[in-house]
Amino acid sequence: MSDTIFGKIISGEIPSEFLYEDEHCIAINDINPQAPVHVLVIPKQSIPRLVDAQLNDQALLGHLMLVAGKLAQQLGVGDAFRLVVNNGAEAGQTVFHLHLHIIGGRAFAEGHMAG
Ligand code: 5GP
């Protein structure tokens, strides 16, 4: 679990403020926010990329989505946010421990996936 920066944050090796924690995941503010709200939902179980998830991770993946939705509401962006998963270096993934980005609080270009 401690092989990535997120593993070290989850284990407490790197101190970090958790916005949320339960037995399956944590949420932290992104260190380099791309919007007023930029939160990472990170499973405690280390799955490197989304494509590495297996059928027995199905409940965990669903849980992460539910947590992301509830957190977005609590953070005041429940009506307008994006949930992003970068899968693979060429898609911009830099930390190989699966995580969901909750991005909100700014205007999004209409119909533009990356904007
Ligand atoms: P990725 O590019 O892998 O989808 O997303 C990784 C994210 O983790 C980036 O948005 C980056 O800013 C964030 N990040 C990298 N290192 C740290 C850290 O030590 N603490 C926090 N809170 N975020 C980090």
Q: Which residue, chain included where needed, has tokens 């090796």?
A: 13
Which of 8, 10, 31, 37 to mutate for ligand 1's pocket (most ligand atoms within 8 Å of CB)? 31
Residue nearest to atom 1 of ligand 1 (CA): 93
Which domain, by its residues, includes 87?
5-104
Q: What is the pTM of this model?
A: 0.95
pLDDT of residue 76: 97
**Residue 85 contacts residue 100 (beta carbons within 8 Å):** yes
> Which atom from ligand 1 is nearest to the alpha carbon of 86?
4
What's the domain count of the chain?
1
Task: Report pLDDT digits (tens) over 27-47.
Answer: 999 999 999 999 999 999 999
Residue 74 CA: distances (Å) to CA of 2, 23, 68, 71 = 29, 19, 10, 5
Annotation marks residue 99 as catalytic:
yes
Residue 109 in any domain: the answer is no
The torsion angles phi and psi of 2, rounded to 5 degrees, stand at -95, 20
Q: Does 86 have pLDDT greater than 80?
A: yes
Measured in Å, residue 34 CA sits from the centre of ligand 1 at: 11
59: domain CATH number is: 3.30.428.10
Residue 30 in any domain: the answer is yes
